[in-house]
Amino acid sequence: MRIVFFVEPSPFTYVSGVGGRFKNTVAQLAQLGAECMVVTTGRGVSYPGTDFEAGREPPAEFCGARVLGAYSFGCPVYATLPMAPALQPGVFAAVRAFRPDVVHCTSPGVMCFAAILCSRLLRKPLVLSYHTHAPAYMPLYGLGRLVSLCWAFIRAVHAFAAVSVTVSDRMALALERGGLPRPTVWAMGVDCEAFHPRRRCAAMRRRLMGGADARVLVLYVGRVAAEKNVAALGRIMDAVPGARLAVVGDGPARRQLESELRPGGRTVFTGWLHGSQLGAAYASADIFLTPSETETLGFTVLEAMASELPVVAPFAGGIPDIITAPGKNGFLYRPSDHAAAAAELVLLARDASLRSSVGRAARERVLPHDWQTATRLLLKDVYERAAAENRKKH
């Protein structure tokens, strides 16, 4: 099996759960004997003064797969996010020379156009995987009037797909309600060795505490941006006396959030952490909090649970697909009910034995969901099925 991926933004230069999924998938496909090629965002430009660090060339190779960067530009409403139509003749020539069996592209995004073109010209099946719930993001950036147009675009591009996939049952239902045929759910995966309670580290805990001494450390990991509802962090933490908050991540709302949270002296901002440092950050905290209500799945929730952290999160997006027994393997609150979120945090902060039991149940919940299993299912249930149906047509 030969698969060409069109991934926007680059999983090699832009930190996101989508990027982690595709890097793990390419690595696992290589172990399973598949050959891969990745077309993604490369060097480009954004608005003057924008930190466009993600708009750079990707590595030429990853786990045996050739990686090709297409010229990119900053998203008009999210200038640090690289986008790329990838319609250069060189991209098509490289894909044609690779001779793929399947074309797989992230959705929604402008790179869908190149993937559709390659699929049609090469007469190969197109798999579109939906990862970013753009209709939910748009009102947060003043584009609420364009939601119906966004849905029309999503329906139009997915009409070209032999198979549409998404990452949770709840998101599959949302897409069906938006007028698409119900998509296949791409099984969740998490590296339970990279994210493990034994990675707890006293030095990392001191760093996340800012050198202070506090009984309970609450952790947030992810983009610091409007779509992650980070403004709610302060409102929730204000009702949790004695706890400290560590924010691991970065994004366009960081400066505003720092100005709101740092005056109280209870919050540490680390910026992005990666690899062993990220694993240590999860394992060294006591509770994981995410207020995001737009997650198509919630990879940081999976990583926290693998690290035996009790999670407090809204009953929204794909998160209820992960926390399946509220009160036992995590805590869910009604969206926007910040008082309820704070009450769950206070309950956990006061009871170390409860934190321990919920953390253990959380890890047990995600242990079966390793990347190898998820990738085998993708190969068999999506790629091989799409390729077989395409052979019948042609």
The residues spanned by each domain of the chain are 2-189+370-389, 197-366
Average pLDDT score over residue span 293-313: 97
Q: Do residues 180 and 155 make contact, with C-beta atoms less than 8 angstroms apart?
A: yes
CATH number of 197-366: 3.40.50.2000
CA distances from 259 to 234, 237, 238 (A): 11, 15, 15
The per-residue pLDDT for 264 is: 67
Per-residue pLDDT band at 202 (split at 50, 70, 90):
very high
Quickly count helices (H) and strands (E) in the chain: 16, 15
What average pLDDT does the chain have? Answer: 96
- Report how far residue 172's alpha carbon sits from residue 252's, in angstroms, rounded to the nearest whole number: 29
- Asked, as a colleague might, if the bond just before 139 is cis with ω within 30 of 0, I would say no
> Could you give phi then psi for residue 367, rounded to 5 degrees?
-55, -40
> Could you give phi then psi for residue 70, rounded to 5 degrees?
-100, 145
C-alpha angle 224-226-231 in degrees, rounded to nearest 5: 75
Q: CB 60: neighbour CB atoms within 10 A?
A: 9
Helix, strand, or coil (residue 275): helix
Per the DSSP assignment, residues forming a β-bridge with 68 are: 39
Per-residue pLDDT band at 212 (split at 50, 70, 90):
confident
Same fold, 2-189+370-389 and 197-366: yes
- Report how far residue 6's alpha carbon sits from residue 116's, in angstroms, rounded to the nearest whole number: 10
* Burial (Cβ within 10 Å: 0-12, 13-18, ≥19) of residue 123: exposed
Q: What single DSSP character describes residue 172?
A: H
2-189+370-389: CATH homologous superfamily? Glycogen Phosphorylase B; (3.40.50.2000)
- Give the dihedral sign, CA 382/384/389/394: positive
Is pLDDT above 80 for 263? no
Percent of the chain with pLDDT over 70: 99
- Report how far residue 119's alpha carbon sits from residue 115's, in angstroms, rounded to the nearest whole number: 6
